[in-house]
Structure 1
Amino acid sequence: MSATKRGEYMPLHLVRERLVPQLTEARVNRVTLTGGEPFMHEDLIEVAAAFHDAGMDVGVCTNATIVTDEQIAAFREMGAHMNVSLDGFSADSHGVFRGRPEGFEETVETVKRFAHVGILQGLLCTPNNLAEGEEYARLCAFAREQGAKYVLMNPLGEMGRGAAKGAQKLRQPDEHMRHIAELTLPFADEGLEVVHIRFPNEDKPLAGCEAGTIIYVFTKGEVTVCPYLVFAARTRVSQHPDTDFIVGNVWEHDDIAARLDAYRFHERWTVGDNPTCGGCAMNASCGKGCPAAVVASGQRIGAVDSELCPVVPKQSRVLPVVGVS
């Protein structure tokens, strides 16, 4: 869930009075606080404690640049875990990518502080062309040294941060992404889980969609079965409105648990509902990829996830027809 977003904050009293009770009713047992930057929320510890006191495990995704020792102690006390964004392993890559070259050293030092008290869980990485390929091997080595459980690598795309102005200029080309995978996969044999999300794929069946398994609550209260589907629906070429994937608003509706139970993404939408998937030899073993990527490419859910499908060429973006008269 997003606790902060561009100067907007989830009010503490609403978290306690409306959000926590409704997520409890929806049988949520783990919550991750995201942003924006969660540590900009003046009541972050109290927000996290509200979930913890309700019996939920608490995690935070952070850039780790403004974290105090008192906050670290509080999160350690409640058994929370930290996931830290680290998008290269130098000030010239991670720091510039994040807009603050000095932020690299701040992030590295805070990762060490998290690790020292046993609350570091993983590093979250967005490969970009500001970094040399070897930096990602150094990043994985650093994660292993600090006792992180995993490094998750997710390249820039058409959704989320990838949809921001100019972001596509920073995307690594496919050949570089393959090189990054080759450099970082060996760390998986050394006790570190290395997760490559939407890296180039030449021959493997695609993963399936988990929409509805991991829900997301936006700062303004919208509850979605998948944030990436909402981000994708808000791109210029989308044929889906974002309301296709939003079940309600936790600040306005009192029946969020019932709405989530009734949504059933895979009964509403059929992924891979096209002749190519139907006639493919991998059909039975293929999860058909990411519906959000399909939506972001200008297709309806059911079309081929052509960005990663190994049996079809990558398709050009479908541009919408716009009437002006």
Structure 2
Amino acid sequence: MTATKRGTYMPLDDIRNKLIPQLTEARVTKITVTGGEPFMHPDLIEIIGAFRAAGMSVGVCTNGTMCSDEQIAALVELDAHMNVSLDGFAEESHSIFRGLPGCFAETIDTIKRFAAAGILQGLLCTPNSLAEDEEYRKLVEFARDQGATYVLMNPLGNMGRGQSKRAQGRLRTPDEQMREIARMTAPFEADGMEMVNIRFPNEDKPLGGCEAGNIVYVFTDGAMAICPYLVFAARTTASKHPDSDFIVGNVWEHGDVADRLDAYGKFSDRWDLGGNATCGACAMSSSCGKGCPAAVVASGERIGAVDTELCPVVPKQTRVLPLIGVS
């Protein structure tokens, strides 16, 4: 779910009286508060407290700015866990990429304070052309030393979220550099660090499956999506799908979103993933999850087409830019 987005806030009373009861009915047990920047919300701690009182575990995805020591103490009491965006390991990369001059030092300090308080969970990274390759090794080393359990890396993508498409093309990390980042950070897994590499270049492996419907998303306007990336992809000019294909209802307007989620059913039952000649004839089809349907939608195809950006069977020249954008 999202608690804040570009200066628009979910009201605390609505979260308590409308959102939480519906999520409880929908059997939701884990919440991730994202945005925008959650710490911009004036009632963030109270919101987390309301979710915890409802018996839900809570994680927060933050850029690591605007967080006071008093808030950290409250987060410890609430047993929340923190995930921090860190997109380079220097002022010249992270702060410029984020568009927040000077934020690198503040983010590093916040990560250390979260770690000291015992609430740091992971670091979230969008590799970009502003950072040197060695920065990513230092970033993962720093995460390990601070006790983070994982580093998740999302390549910059073409869905129109975060930067403009022109900026995305300029800042996107080339495939060969992504391979080098994966190579130099892989040894940290021997230290117990989980490396979660999202949509890195793939030459020979079957693709993963889709979690749409298992991890739902609530926008600040109340729309409940079975996957935010499918909605973002559907809103690009290339899309052949309306965003309504992936929105089940609105928590502010409908009192039955749990029933609507149940009625939507399993994503793989509703949509014919891999319903194309290439997948049908592929020897890896039985072990392949058919990749990301949002990437298919963003590329201008209907769900069921090949995820060409990562499919190892499709010729390289047909691939499109990666999907994942900046949070």
Q: In structure 1, what is the Cα distance between the partners aligned to 2:160 and 2:49?
A: 28
User: What is the identity, as a one-letter code, of the residue corresponding to 2:287?
Assistant: S
What is the match of residue 49 of structure 1?
49
Is 1:152–2:171 an aligned residue pair? Answer: no
Q: Is the 8 A contact 2:160 2:236 kept in 1?
A: no
What is the match of residue 310 of structure 1?
312
Q: Is the 8 A contact 1:297 1:317 kept in 2?
A: no
Q: Is the 8 A contact 2:158 2:168 kept in 1?
A: no
1:159-308 equivalences in 2 (<5 Å): 159=159, 161=161, 164-165=164-165, 166-264=167-265, 265-308=267-310
Q: In structure 2, what is the Cα distance between the partners aligned to 1:159 and 1:89?
A: 25
| Segment drifting more, 89-98 vs 261-270 | 261-270
User: What is the identity, as a one-letter code, of the residue corresponding to 1:36?
Assistant: G
| Segment drifting more, 138-147 vs 98-107 | 98-107
| Segment drifting more, 114-123 vs 154-163 | 154-163
Residue 21 of structure 2: SS of its match in structure 1? helix
- Aligned-pair distance for 1:313? 1.5
What is the match of residue 143 of structure 2?
143
User: What is the identity, as a one-letter code, of the residue corresponding to 2:285?
Assistant: N
Q: In structure 2, what is the Cα distance between the partners aligned to 1:44 and 1:137?
A: 33
- Aligned-pair distance for 1:35? 0.7
Q: In structure 1, what is the Cα distance between the partners aligned to 2:82 and 2:190?
A: 23
Change (3 A) 1:4 1:11: same
User: What is the identity, as a one-letter code, of the residue corresponding to 2:307?
Assistant: D
Q: Is the 8 A contact 2:122 2:149 kept in 1?
A: yes
Q: Is the 8 A contact 1:5 1:219 kept in 2?
A: yes
Cα shift readout 1:33-82 (whole Å, capped 9, x = no counterpart): 00100000000011111100000001100001110111101110010000
- Aligned-pair distance for 1:167? 2.1
What is the match of residue 91 of structure 1?
91
Q: In structure 1, what is the Cα distance between the partners aligned to 2:232 and 2:220?
A: 14
Q: In structure 1, what is the Cα distance between the partners aligned to 2:160 and 2:116?
A: 32
Q: In structure 1, what is the Cα distance between the partners aligned to 2:99 and 2:234?
A: 27
Q: In structure 2, what is the Cα distance between the partners aligned to 1:112 and 1:163?
A: 28
Q: In structure 2, what is the Cα distance between the partners aligned to 1:299 and 1:162?
A: 22
Q: Is the 8 A contact 2:85 2:123 kept in 1?
A: yes
Gaps of 5+ in 2: 321-327
- Aligned-pair distance for 1:168? 2.4
User: What is the identity, as a one-letter code, of the residue corresponding to 1:92?
Assistant: E
Q: Is the 8 A contact 2:37 2:63 kept in 1?
A: yes
Percent identical pairs in the alignment equals 70
User: What is the identity, as a one-letter code, of the residue corresponding to 2:260?
Assistant: R
User: What is the identity, as a one-letter code, of the residue corresponding to 2:240?
Assistant: Q
User: What is the identity, as a one-letter code, of the residue corresponding to 2:94?
Assistant: H
Q: In structure 2, what is the Cα distance between the partners aligned to 1:233 and 1:314?
A: 24
What is the match of residue 322 of structure 1?
none
Residue 161 of structure 1: SS of its match in structure 2? coil
Q: In structure 2, what is the Cα distance between the partners aligned to 1:119 and 1:168?
A: 35
- Aligned-pair distance for 1:160? 5.9
- Aligned-pair distance for 1:134? 0.7
Cα shift readout 1:116-161 (whole Å, capped 9, x = no counterpart): 0100000000000000001000000000000000000000012363
User: What is the identity, as a one-letter code, of the residue corresponding to 1:193?
Assistant: E
Cα shift readout 1:11-46 (whole Å, capped 9, x = no counterpart): 011000100000000000010100100000000011
Residue 299 of structure 1: SS of its match in structure 2? coil
Q: Is the 8 A contact 1:158 1:293 kept in 2?
A: no
Which structure would you say has the larger RCO, counting Cα contacts within 8 Å and 6 or more residues apart?
2
Residue 211 of structure 2: SS of its match in structure 1? coil
Gaps of 5+ in 1: 319-325
Cα shift readout 1:239-272 (whole Å, capped 9, x = no counterpart): 0000000000000000010101111221210111
- Aligned-pair distance for 1:317? 8.0
What is the match of residue 78 of structure 2?
78
Q: In structure 2, what is the Cα distance between the partners aligned to 1:282 and 1:80?
A: 40
Q: CA RMSD in A?
A: 1.2
Change (3 A) 1:87 1:164: same
Q: In structure 2, what is the Cα distance between the partners aligned to 1:35 and 1:212?
A: 20
What is the match of residue 9 of structure 1?
9
Q: In structure 1, what is the Cα distance between the partners aligned to 2:271 and 2:52?
A: 34
Residue 248 of structure 1: SS of its match in structure 2? strand
Cα shift readout 1:273-325 (whole Å, capped 9, x = no counterpart): 0000000010100000000000000000000000000011246589xxxxxxx
